[in-house]
Every structure is written in C-alpha cells, then in structure tokens.
C-alpha cells in the first residue's frame, strides 16, 4: 500500500533580518527612535533546485567542473564543483528570478544556459556537454627585447620565428611594441629559433622548444650594440598619389637586399604627421623600403562563404582494422581563408581555402576508408580530394545536417587508394 505524503506547516522568516544603526542614551530623559524597513525574504524553503550532470563529448562525466550561477544582469551569485560522477546541485534558489548558468573545466570550452522565471517549478534539471578546447593545445612564445647595457626596451625590432623542425623555415614575423614586447601565438609543438634583428645591434638567436600542449614560453633578448662600424641614415616621406598629401601613421618596413636580390626585413617604423619616417644606425649595404596603410572598409559578404561543409574530424582506416587513425582540426594544415572556429574547419573552397592531412603512414598498398564528420545546413555542399597530388576526379556531396552544432554531426565515408608509407591528402573545392 502506498504511503500517504503529509504536508505540515513550518515557520519561516517573512523578511530578511533587519538591523538598526548604533545609538546611545546619555541622560535620563533622552529618547531614541529606531525605524526599520524590512525587505521580503526570497530565500524560502520551497525555493528552486537546479541540478544536473556535466559530460564530455564521449558522454564521460567530468569531475571538478565549475558551475557558476549569475543573475540576469551577469552579477555573480553562486558557484559549485561537480563530484566524481560529474553531478552538481544548487538548492533553495529564488524562483522569481532569471539566471545565467555557466559550466567550464580545464581543457574544455565555456558553455552557457539561460533559464527564465520558474514560479511553477521546484526542480530544474540542467545538463551540460563540454567540448574540448582545441585552441588550448596551441602554445605561445612571448618575449622582451632590451639593450644589454642600459636595459632599455627596444621598439620596432624585427623578430622572426623560425621552425627548426622543417629545414629552418620562416614561420612568422612580428615587431616589438613601445615597451620592447613581442608575442607569437598558435604555436604547435616543436623546436624553434627566435631571431632578433635591430638596426645598429648584433643579431641574436634564442632557441625555444615547445614540448607540451598549451605551453607558455617567455624569453628576454639582450641585444648588444655593434662597435666600430660605419652607419648611415635612411629617411623620407610617404605621400598619397591621389591628392599628393603626406600620409601619417603609415607602416614603413626597411629591407636589406641580399646578393641574390632576396629581401630580408630588418626594421619597422611608422610615419609621423608630415608623412616623414627615419631609420638610424643603418650599416653599409643595399636597402629597399615598402610602405602601406590599413583602413577600415565595409564589405557585404554572402552569409556563407564556403563551398564545403564545416569539417570536424577525418578518420582513415582499412577493412581489417589494422590501421585506424583520426585527425582533428588541430592536426591538419590550413591554407588560404580556411580557419578553425569552435573546433570545426571552415571556409574550405572560399578564397583558395584548403586543408592538407599529412603524415598518413599506412602499412600496405590498398583501399582505405576516409570517414569525414561534418556539419552544414545547406544541401549543395561538396569537396574535392587529391592523394599524393593526384586528384580522385570525383566531386563528393554532403547531406545537410539539422544544425551546425556538434550534436548534429553526420558522417561521410569515402574510399581512397593509398600507398604503403607516407601519404598526403588534400581536401579542397574547385
């Protein structure tokens, strides 16, 4: 027989406890007046309970994830941590309010849920699925360039990042700011050389080895002045050809012209009010400048630039299961307009955007399956594929997905012929 549930009356504060200011009676006829305004107590025993579970994309619980509740205006209210089963709960929340609820854990992207007034409910289950934050796997190299004698920071110094993993290929160039600082972001694991080149100073090379995902490396380059060298000055004005006016705040880069006529950037500056620029302490040699200026323009692009879907992952396998490897956005090389956004690769096929999966090292010649996970809300998306620079001569179409969220991902399986050893797969759109 089912037991009956009885309700009983309990006592609860109608108002929040009020308190007056301090005052003092100083003589026998002295009177004090204490007036108070009492505010309603919204923290009642029948308040709202919010509970749920936090999972990763493979439906595994995430321990010690942070759940934070903020007001509708984003004022912080409460926070808690998930237990070993990924569970959390908040009790006795006012039901006459709306909330923003956030979930995050190390290595995952922040997720948010908005909940509105719940006057008629006592319990609300709110689960979160956290996506891996691929951007956190990239590393950062930052640094400071100073005069080794005076410790003064050096502005507009050319700093190059050279990838030593691939025959010392130049990967990026930047310039120090007015505090002598520079930064390189989105760096993969590997061995790098940071080359610092300032006019009138000796070149400096600093090794930077990235061995961990998300590594933050900080360097200080102490450069020494060259002595007993003949130096000159390069200066001039930058003008606008249309109206012959001087161009203020234009970028000016000084290049050394090498014996084979290749150009090596060695200094950077900006023009002042009258379009004037100057480089000092320039040693003997051949030089060239380049100049330009950025401006903000409004451009109307179509809502979707890409001719291909947004790609999430690529899995290559053979029929007997002896080879199976998955490549995510962080594992492939991107070119042209292609980019990573929320763990998806976008813009394949627009403005020469394409991707390359390299190092596909298979055990034998033969047929392999390429399983592509993707999202697109369009029915006319497609891609082309080449293997080892040979096109498959097929246009591969993709069905539309319900949304562009990870929960709507579909799979496309394509048969490819690969050769024993290393293969290079290019995905593009003609």
**pLDDT by 10s per residue, the chain, length 430:** 333 344 445 566 677 777 878 877 777 777 777 778 877 765 555 567 889 999 998 889 999 999 999 988 888 989 999 999 999 999 888 777 788 999 999 888 888 888 876 545 678 888 999 988 877 778 899 999 999 999 999 998 999 998 887 667 888 889 999 999 999 988 888 899 999 988 888 889 999 999 988 889 999 999 998 877 767 888 889 888 888 889 998 888 888 898 888 888 888 888 998 889 888 888 888 999 998 887 766 655 444 456 889 999 999 999 888 899 999 988 888 887 788 888 899 888 765 688 889 889 999 999 999 999 999 988 888 999 999 888 999 999 999 998 888 888 999 999 999 999 889 999 998 7
* Residue whose pair of structure tokens reads 């089963």 in the numeric block: 85
What is the rounded CA–CA span in Å between residue 256 and residue 277?
A: 17
* Of 229, 220, 228, 219, the residue nearest 148 (C-alpha): 220
Beta pairing class for 333-335 and 339-341? unpaired
Terminal Cα distance for the chain, rounded: 72
Burial class of 356 by CB neighbour count within 10 A (0 to 12, 13 to 18, 19+): middle
Give 316's strand partners.
Answer: 325, 370
- Strands in 263-270's sheet, in edge-to-edge order, are 263-270, 251-257, 287-292
Q: Which residues contact 131 (CB under 8 A, 6 or more apart)?
A: 57, 108, 109, 111, 342, 343, 406
């Amino acid at each position: 027989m089912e037991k009956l549930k009885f309700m009983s009356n309990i006592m609860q504060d109608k108002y929040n406890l009020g308190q007056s200011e301090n005052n003092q009676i100083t003589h026998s006829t002295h009177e004090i007046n204490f007036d108070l305004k009492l505010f309603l107590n919204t923290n009642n025993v029948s308040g709202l309970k919010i509970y749920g579970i936090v999972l990763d994309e493979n439906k595994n619980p995430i321990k010690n994830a942070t759940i934070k509740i903020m007001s509708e205006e984003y004022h912080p209210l409460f926070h808690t941590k998930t237990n070993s089963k990924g569970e959390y709960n908040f009790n006795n929340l006012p039901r006459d309010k709306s909330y923003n609820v956030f979930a995050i854990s190390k290595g995952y992207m922040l997720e948010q849920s908005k909940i509105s007034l719940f006057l008629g409910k006592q319990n609300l289950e709110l689960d979160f699925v956290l996506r891996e934050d691929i951007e956190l796997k990239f590393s950062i190299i930052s640094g400071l360039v100073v005069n080794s004698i005076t410790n003064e920071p050096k502005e507009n110094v050319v700093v190059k990042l050279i990838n030593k993993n691939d025959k010392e290929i130049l990967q990026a160039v930047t310039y120090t700011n007015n505090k002598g600082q520079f930064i390189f972001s989105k760096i993969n694991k590997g061995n790098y050389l940071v080359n610092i080149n300032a006019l009138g100073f000796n070149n400096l090379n600093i090794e930077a080895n990235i061995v961990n995902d998300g590594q933050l490396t900080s360097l200080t380059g102490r450069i020494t002045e060259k002595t007993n060298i003949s130096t000159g000055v390069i200066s001039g004005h930058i003008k606008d050809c249309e109206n012959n006016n001087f161009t203020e705040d234009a970028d000016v880069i000084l290049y050394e012209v090498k014996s084979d006529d290749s150009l090596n950037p060695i200094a950077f500056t900006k023009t002042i009010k009258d379009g004037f620029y100057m480089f000092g302490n320039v040693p003997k040699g051949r030089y060239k400048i380049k100049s330009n200026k950025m401006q903000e323009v409004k451009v109307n692009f179509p809502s979707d630039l890409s001719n291909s879907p947004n790609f999430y992952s690529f899995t290559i396998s053979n029929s007997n299961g002896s080879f199976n490897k998955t490549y995510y956005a962080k594992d492939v090389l991107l070119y042209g307009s292609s980019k990573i956004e929320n763990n998806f690769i976008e813009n394949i096929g627009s403005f020469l955007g394409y991707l390359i999966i390299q190092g596909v090292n298979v055990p034998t010649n033969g047929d392999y399956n390429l399983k592509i996970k993707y999202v697109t809300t369009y029915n006319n998306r497609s891609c082309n594929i080449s293997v080892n620079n040979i096109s498959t001569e097929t246009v591969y179409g993709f069905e539309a997905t319900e949304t562009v969220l990870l929960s709507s991902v579909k799979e496309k399986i394509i048969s490819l012929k690969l050769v024993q050893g290393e293969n290079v797969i290019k995905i593009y759109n003609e």
